[in-house]
């Protein structure tokens, strides 16, 4: 029987684009030496789901490695502080659906984000009580597929699915050798998902069909 559900965060559980755009542009404006103009939503959407070092390389191509790290750290610090208070946009029926899922499955979040970002989501929306554990790239600098395996091993889970909205999420499920549920309402695309949902509320019914 299916024991657990592993979730991506951005584009799967919430949309924090507005808050990220605001805080990152505040940092860019404060650092003209970053040699770049303001971000727009299209550019930012292309970064969501990538490891933070890769985002820094793409955002600040003319900067030194040290500068990239400093600017990215500043972006993450402001973003975490802002989102922990203001929050983002939860997908429809998110909390009610998670409550329903919690009756039958253990719930986890595995993200490519920086430390503190998942915690900001949980704090702002008071959802910590629904999740058994969380892990992210910022905790150990490991890719999402390895963190999928790590969180399952740590929590004694042998049968799970991964829910996400990008091809990177799909690949992380393949690395962990678990089925991938594509959140088609999110930001990205998938290659050959095992299952697809068009709204978060569809998930409980779908999971009942997975043995």
CA 211 to chain centre: 26
Residue-number span of the structural domain to which 52 is assigned: 17-86
* End residue of a domain, out of 86, 115, 143: 86
Do 111 and 166 reside in the same domain of the chain? yes
Q: Which residues does the chain have with pLDDT short of 70? A: none
CA 78 to chain centre: 17
The pLDDT score that the predictor gives to residue 10 is 95
* End residue of a domain, out of 86, 118, 143: 86
Do 128 and 173 reside in the same domain of the chain? yes
Do 92 and 57 reside in the same domain of the chain? no
H helix runs in the chain, sequence order: 17-30, 41-45, 52-59, 65-86, 94-102, 117-125, 137-140, 144-154, 167-176, 203-207
The pLDDT score that the predictor gives to residue 198 is 98
**pTM of structure:** 0.94
Nearest residue to 17 (alpha-carbon basis) of 199, 188, 201, 187: 187
Helix, strand, coil percent values for the chain (each to nearest 5): 50, 15, 35
Residue-wise pLDDT for 70-84, tens only, equals 999 999 999 999 999
Dist. CA 37–CA 160, nearest whole Å: 42
The pLDDT score that the predictor gives to residue 52 is 87
Do 93 and 40 reside in the same domain of the chain? no
The pLDDT score that the predictor gives to residue 48 is 83
Tell whether the torsion through CA atoms of 110, 113, 116 and 121 is positive or negative.
Answer: negative
The total domain count for the chain is 2
**Distant-in-sequence, close-in-space partners of 44: CB < 8 Å, separation ≥ 6:** 17, 20, 21, 24
Do 43 and 118 reside in the same domain of the chain? no
* End residue of a domain, out of 86, 113, 141: 86
Strand partners, 197: 183
Do 56 and 107 reside in the same domain of the chain? no
Do 82 and 104 reside in the same domain of the chain? no
Do 194 and 102 reside in the same domain of the chain? yes
Provide the token pair at 18: 């507005």
Contact 167, 190 (CB under 8 A): yes
Q: What CATH number is given to the structural domain containing 102?
A: 3.40.50.1000
């Amino acid at each position: 029987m299916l024991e657990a559900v592993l979730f991506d965060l951005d584009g799967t559980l919430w949309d924090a684009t507005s808050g990220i755009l605001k805080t990152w542009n505040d940092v860019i404006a404060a650092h003209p030496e970053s040699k770049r103009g303001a971000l727009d939503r299209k550019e930012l959407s292309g970064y969501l789901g990538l490891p933070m070092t890769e985002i820094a390389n793409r955002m600040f191509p003319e900067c030194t490695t040290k500068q990239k790290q400093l600017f990215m750290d500043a972006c993450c610090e402001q973003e975490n502080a802002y989102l922990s208070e203001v929050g983002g946009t939860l997908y429809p029926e998110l909390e009610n659906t998670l409550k329903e899922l919690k009756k039958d499955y253990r719930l986890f979040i595995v993200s490519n984000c920086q430390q503190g970002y998942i915690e900001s989501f949980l704090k702002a929306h008071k959802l910590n009580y629904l999740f058994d554990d969380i892990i992210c790239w910022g905790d150990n600098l490991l890719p999402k597929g390895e963190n999928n395996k790590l969180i399952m091993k740590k929590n004694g889970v042998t049968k799970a699915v991964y829910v996400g909205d990008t091809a990177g999420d799909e690949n992380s499920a393949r690395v962990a050798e678990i089925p991938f549920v594509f959140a088609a309402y999110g930001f990205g695309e998938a290659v050959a998902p095992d299952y697809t949902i068009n709204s978060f509320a569809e998930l409980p019914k779908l999971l009942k069909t997975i043995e």
